[in-house]
Structure 1
């Protein structure tokens, strides 16, 4: 049980890509005070948690309404996640700094940076794949822990920025992109395998 919890937590953490979000968070909060940054960090973590829980719990309903099979969605979601991860691995900027004066909690920090299209697809697939409430509870705890970790990374943004510097953040962000690419490929292969065995 503990191993399964840790496994889902790590998967969620890779999907959230906290160091990629951190690099965007730093660029979007250049004019903010340390106190404002810390408050914003926990708001983003809470918003990511709520968005993820809603997607996870109501995934089955979404599949039912649109008549999409879980395997077809795995292939589509994995493809979107792979494209997003490829941009991340190549170090392409995901945000424009002209939105600094606006409230950036929900858009773009929560959606689409923390909970992006690929993460949304993965959460929907997980919701359908795990009908038992014991499994659902474990995933919800993992989502809470992963959201808290994202909040903690953003909360410590000043210190992390000072320790790693711009180049260090870029390297870590690109490494996260590679991990997300691998996860996306696994989702696609699982979908193809399931589709071919129908």
Structure 2
């Protein structure tokens, strides 16, 4: 049972974080503009290609991101603090100025023509899973438990979360015309702000975990009992 509960717990941490930073609902509006000249079948096929590439980017970042950075001598607690700060700052930008975030995404998508060759660049990177998504994934990877037995369910839950996010990307992109008619730009900004606040909380939590671990590793070595 502990394996299942640990897997669900990591999923509930990773899914809202990845969903918030990817924001497939908001980006579906831009995807709709880029692929306006395509047929519905072409838009659908392209949407699922982008979803597949996005899944690959998220999985690589989740499973190998923290390990690769660790080769440079960065401690896990430092990575958590830095990653949490990056996530929190990015979430604050999305929360306070969604218009600027939309403008940046529009600029990233400006080179896309809607052709299948655009599936990876620029529709997957940097439009859908760009530096922000990679930073969040690495921060989640750095937040893994120390116990080896807990690592497997933790990464299993995160991998499932990445898969579900990729599925939402495919669904929202393939149905971008319906998303536009249902939400519009104002509705998209409301969803973006709600997601950004949740992402801000997750970023702060990751940062606090890193600070707590750093303090625990420092204080015992400097504060020793007087009778020892």
Shift of 1:163: 1.2
Per-residue CA deviation, residues 71-118 of structure 1 (Å, 9 max, x unaligned), is: 222222223223332332212122215313274422343233433334
Q: Superposed, which structure 2 residues align to 1:110-149 within 5 Å?
A: 110-128=124-142, 129-130=144-145, 131=148, 132-149=151-168
Count of matched residue positions in the alignment of Structure 1 and Structure 2: 198
2:112 is equivalent to residue 100 of structure 1: yes
Within the alignment, does 1:81 sit opposite 2:87 as a pair? Answer: yes
2:63 aligned with 1:49, yes or no?
A: no
RMSD of equivalent CA atoms: 2.6
Superposed CA offset, 1:156-186 (max 9, x none): 1111111112222232223222222222222
| Greater shift in the superposed pair: 59-68 or 44-53 | 59-68
CA distance in structure 2 between the partners assigned to 1:70 and 1:176 by the alignment: 26
Structure 1 alignment gaps of length 5 or more: none
C-alpha separation between the residues in 1 aligned to 2:192 and 2:163?
22
Tell which deviates more after alignment, 27-36 or 63-72.
27-36
Residue 50 of structure 1 deviates from its aligned partner by: 0.9
TM-superposed deviation, 1:52: 1.4
TM-score (norm 1): 0.83
How big is each residue's C-alpha offset from its partner over 1:136-155, in whole Å with a ceiling of 9 and x where there is no partner? Answer: 23322222122112211211
DSSP-derived class of the 1:107 partner: coil
How far has the Cα of 1:65 moved from its partner?
1.7
Gaps of 5+ in 2: 218-228
Equivalent residues of 1:41, 1:151 under 8 A apart: yes
Of 98-107 and 174-183, more deviation after overlay is shown by 98-107
In the alignment, structure 1 residue 175 sits paired with structure 2 residue 194: yes
Question: Residues 126 and 152 of structure 1: is their aligned pair in 2 closer, same or farther, counting only changes over 3 Å?
Answer: same
**What TM-score comes out, normalization by structure 2 length?**
0.73
Q: SS of the residue aligned with 2:71?
A: helix
Structure 1 pair 85–106 and aligned structure 2 pair: CA distance change class (3 A):
farther
Please give the alpha-carbon distance, in whole angstroms, between the structure 1 residues aligned to 2:17 and 2:91: 14
